[in-house]
Structure 1
Amino acid sequence: MSTREHIVRGFKATLVSRAVYMLSSALLMIVLARVLNPDGYGALYWAIGILMVVQLFADLGLGKSTARYISEYSERDEGQLPHLLRSAIVYKLVVLTVVAYALLLFHERIAVALGDPDAAPFLAAGVLFIVANSFSGFSMMAFQGFNRLGYSAAVQAVSGATRLVFALGFVGLGFGALGALFGYIVGYAIAGAFGLVLLYYKCYCTYDPADAYEDGLSRRLVEYSIPLTATRSANVIDKRLDVVLVGFFLTPAAVGFYQLGKQITDFLLAPAESLGFTISPNFGEQKASGRLEQARRLYEKSLTHTMLVYIPAAVGLVLVADPFVTMVFPQYQGAIPVLQVLAGFVVLQAVTNLTSDSLDYLGRARHRAIAKGVTSVANFGLNLALIPTIGIVGAAIATVATHTVYVAVNLYILHRELSLRVGRLARSIGTVCGISLVMAVAVSLVTPLVSSLVMLFGAIVLGTVIWAGLAIASGLLDLREVRSVLGSAGGKG
């Protein structure tokens, strides 16, 4: 199977699983937002934000480090892979045990220190949340390293579907926000068990272990996890700590408004995340075999197509945020300005999803970690300054401002590695901006007339039709290539 066919097949599987995951998340978000009200919704996701900070110490960077060395040794020495997996699991169990025990001992003190003693039951249940989520995520990352993206996709789909069923079930039984958290736990536990069983039978058992574990490989696995841990720490600051700070400085309802805005942008980012997750292992394989020219072409094409989707999507989000939130989430109109500011983050994060994992597989995790660490510290400082003064919009502004710097540094590092054709990329993105401007003018003319969900859908369809027509006319969107990709994806199953 060619690299292109493998990417198409993996992207299709990942996108389908991501669609299942995001659809289930959307349903969960809509129901919980209506049942729990802004205060209950905010309390749930404030607790999850705290737990995801703790999760960082439970996971470190072992999952991505394992995936990176799996990708490398799949090309170099397959006999090392069983040894590598055993080491990773042992390290993970040791770290998980320490962190989970510490959280169980100190959950009440943490809740009091953060100013909300009522959060203690959530943090106690968080011990189970951390363990279940850790193994679910590890199995997905390991499959990414093996380039078995269909299995990774299956784990993600199982996670989303079971989480939806159990969270809504427990809330329906009257257990409220804490019941929703236990729904998350059960969903992650089922997905984690499913993933580990698949990993054992479909990957671990298929390789004959080498007679001896390569000297120093276990140590390198841990060493490479250190910069990845730094990057994960920065990601937590960007994606979770702002939620914690909103809850600390403001109210649970404010957390609910802010979290809703962030979740909606997450849904829009599903395709870019799927593409980045799919193509990144290929960079490691191509570097190992000296095919950097092929890696450059792959990245440039992926970036152009990603921007063709996400720049217009961000513009459209700014225009329709008000009627969309007002009609679908009438209690959450405080989320509208957050969503409009975070439209810029949608574009930035789409580039990040495409670039960050690729840098890790190219062996540039340390440089990315430094950049992420610096910008995340700046993000934390801006949050401290802006949230108390201008509220939840300040948190959104801090995210966009610091992420702009991080994306610029990531692109520079990748350019140093692959020698990107900057002029060609700039011309393509300039064309995309022109298409977005024309689309925005048309949508802005009809948006004031929107008074129902049907009319809102019509406005979105109008923008999509204009975008598609201009994209095809400009040559950025080739229908023959789209049909070829869909045909090859379908033909390969």
Structure 2
Amino acid sequence: MSTTDTIVDGFKANLISKVVEVVVNGLLILLLTRVFLTNEEYGLFSLAIAIFSISVFFSQMGLAKSAARYVTEYRERDPSMIPVIVRRSLLCNLATIAIVSTVVVVFREPIIAQFGEPELLSLFSIGVLFIVGQTLRSYVYFLCQGFNRVAWSSILSIVSNLGIFVFTVVLLSLGFGIPGAVLGYAAGYALGATVGLFVLYRWVSQMPAEITATESDSPDDSDATVTDSEEKGLTRRILEYSLPLSVTGASAIMFKRVDIVLVGAFLTPIAVAYYTLAKQLTEFVIAPASSLGFAVAPTFGESKSSNDIERASSIYRTALEYNLLLYIPAAAGMILVADPAIRLVFGADYLGAIPLVQILAIFVVLESINKITNDALDYLGRARHRAISKGGAAILNVGLNLALLPIIGVAGAAISTVVSYVLMVIVNLYLIHLELSLSGRALAVTVAKTCSIALGMSLIVVAFLPYVSGLITLFAAIGIGVAVWLALAVGSGLLDIRWAMSQLS
């Protein structure tokens, strides 16, 4: 199979999983906000999930991505090392899970005291299950990527998300409230982790037989044996490479969860509900970029190993151009339809989320660029530099939150995210340019053309907005915007619709 076919197949598989994730999360948000929970309860639930997700970072510690990187490296060069990579990385991950879970249980009361929400106390025991389930599900998810079996990563994501939906809805329907919702998420992640560990065990257990068969002609059978020193050395390398990935993961947590925690500490659960809803809506829009970045990433590592930088550069340049073509107009559309969409879909209780969605529309463009750049830098061996970039931006984000939240309220969290992301994207694009020699002029031309398309689309949507009075006319406005975008994108020559359809068919 060619490199393009591999990437496209991985992209399609991951995109399907993202569509399932978007649908499941969308339905859950609607059910949580409109049926099962008040806006204050939804904010409290979101705050609990944010706290547990921060704990998950410490239990992950970059081990899964580090192991995936070395699986990719050794898959062709020396497959006999792969069982060692999986075994040692999993043992390390189990150790971190045990440590973090113990800390969460022991220090739950001091943690809860910082928020003044005693209702959180009953959630922390369930939170340990959340930590275990999500950490192990993340481990097997990234290991599948390292084996370049992105389709299996997608399957695990689908299993987890469907499990989350079923368990959460059933428990909420039985009247278990916020604890039931948290337990539903924990059970869904645990289901995905169980399936993933079984699949990973099957792959690894079959490898010794394959290695023996391919090396049976070797005059020295000892060559197929992994020595203790090699095993220890590889373990050390996995742990060392996990350190910059841990910094990057900490930065991601600061962007995704710490701001929610800070909103909860400075403001109210209702403010948390507004901000969480706005961020979740942006995550829906970013799903295609996540799929593309995840599918393409292993190719960069393979290209660097084979010293074929030109191929990697061409792949990244094409991905970035199509990414900008999609997300700059999408951000413009979000700004325009945020008011009627929030008002009609979520109701008057969530109108405070409207300005947050409009501010975070800029974040959507920046995050989409990061989604196709982050893993690429990791597989190109730039994890340490990306960690510095994201770590610095994350610290800035926290500082801006601390400064702006007391002054301008929850909008300060959204502004902080956008400002810090601008700086991070600039640095990451510079890093990828050092590796792949991108053309700044070509990128500027693409941005200019795409902005023109976004402007043309926006003018049509603005003309239609006064007629939006219900969900049907809202979807009609969105559909008109998409149609105008498609016509302008094809007419400008930026989108080859026949090529795109042939790749996705």
Q: Would you call these one fold, judging by a TM-score over 0.5?
A: yes
Counterpart Cα distance in 1 of 2:392 and 2:182: 32
Q: Give TM-score scaled by structure 2 length.
A: 0.95
Deviation at 1:207, TM superposition (A): 4.7
Which has the larger displacement, 390-399 or 115-124?
A: 115-124
Secondary structure of the corresponding residue to residue 432 of structure 1: helix
Deviation at 1:116, TM superposition (A): 2.1
Deviation at 1:421, TM superposition (A): 1.4
Counterpart Cα distance in 2 of 1:18 and 1:439: 26
- The counterpart of 1:262, out of the listed 279, 303, 308, is 279
Deviation at 1:204, TM superposition (A): 4.6
- One-letter amino acid of the structure 1 residue matched with residue 319 of structure 2: S
Tell me the residue number matched to 2:219: none
Tell me the residue number matched to 2:471: 453
- One-letter amino acid of the structure 1 residue matched with residue 17 of structure 2: S
- The counterpart of 1:407, out of the listed 400, 403, 425, is 425
Whether contact under 8 Å (1:85, 1:204) holds in the other structure is no
- Tell whether 2:386 aligns with 1:386: no
Tell me the residue number matched to 1:79: 80
- Tell whether 2:340 aligns with 1:323: yes
**Residues 18-97 of structure 1 aligned to structure 2 (within 5 Å):** 18-34=18-34, 35-97=36-98
Tell me the residue number matched to 1:491: none
Tell me the residue number matched to 2:387: 369
CA shift digits 1:312-348 (9 cap, x unpaired): 0000000000000000111211100000000000000
Tell me the residue number matched to 2:504: 486
Counterpart Cα distance in 1 of 2:113 and 2:493: 58
Tell me the residue number matched to 2:14: 14
- Tell whether 2:240 aligns with 1:240: no
Deviation at 1:425, TM superposition (A): 1.6
Structure 1: unaligned runs, 5 residues or longer: 488-493
Deviation at 1:101, TM superposition (A): 1.3
Counterpart Cα distance in 1 of 2:419 and 2:121: 34
**Residues 105-254 of structure 1 aligned to structure 2 (within 5 Å):** 105-208=106-209, 210-213=224-227, 214=230, 216-254=233-271
Between the aligned residues of both structures, percent identity stands at: 45
Tell me the residue number matched to 2:461: 443
Tell me the residue number matched to 1:299: 316
Whether contact under 8 Å (1:32, 1:41) holds in the other structure is yes
CA shift digits 1:97-155 (9 cap, x unpaired): 11111211221221113332221121221111100100101000000011101110000
Tell me the residue number matched to 1:490: none
Counterpart Cα distance in 2 of 1:129 and 1:203: 27
- One-letter amino acid of the structure 1 residue matched with residue 458 of structure 2: A
**Residues 275-294 of structure 1 aligned to structure 2 (within 5 Å):** 275-294=292-311
Counterpart Cα distance in 2 of 1:180 and 1:206: 40
Q: Give TM-score scaled by structure 1 length.
A: 0.97
CA shift digits 1:283-305 (9 cap, x unpaired): 00000001100000000000000
- One-letter amino acid of the structure 2 residue matched with residue 477 of structure 1: L
- The counterpart of 1:334, out of the listed 324, 327, 352, is 352
Residues 1:292 and 1:414: Cα distance change in structure 2 (over 3 Å): same
Secondary structure of the corresponding residue to residue 147 of structure 1: coil
Deviation at 1:391, TM superposition (A): 1.0
Counterpart Cα distance in 1 of 2:444 and 2:300: 23
Deviation at 1:21, TM superposition (A): 1.5
Counterpart Cα distance in 2 of 1:486 and 1:378: 40
Secondary structure of the corresponding residue to residue 332 of structure 1: helix
CA shift digits 1:264-292 (9 cap, x unpaired): 11000110000000000100000000110
| Residue correspondences, number | 487
- One-letter amino acid of the structure 2 residue matched with residue 234 of structure 1: S
- The counterpart of 1:470, out of the listed 475, 479, 488, is 488
- One-letter amino acid of the structure 1 residue matched with residue 297 of structure 2: S
- One-letter amino acid of the structure 1 residue matched with residue 146 of structure 2: G
Whether contact under 8 Å (1:139, 1:192) holds in the other structure is yes
Whether contact under 8 Å (1:22, 1:160) holds in the other structure is no
- One-letter amino acid of the structure 1 residue matched with residue 169 of structure 2: L
Whether contact under 8 Å (2:114, 2:265) holds in the other structure is no
Counterpart Cα distance in 1 of 2:234 and 2:340: 55
Counterpart Cα distance in 1 of 2:104 and 2:482: 48
Counterpart Cα distance in 1 of 2:168 and 2:503: 37
Secondary structure of the corresponding residue to residue 38 of structure 2: helix
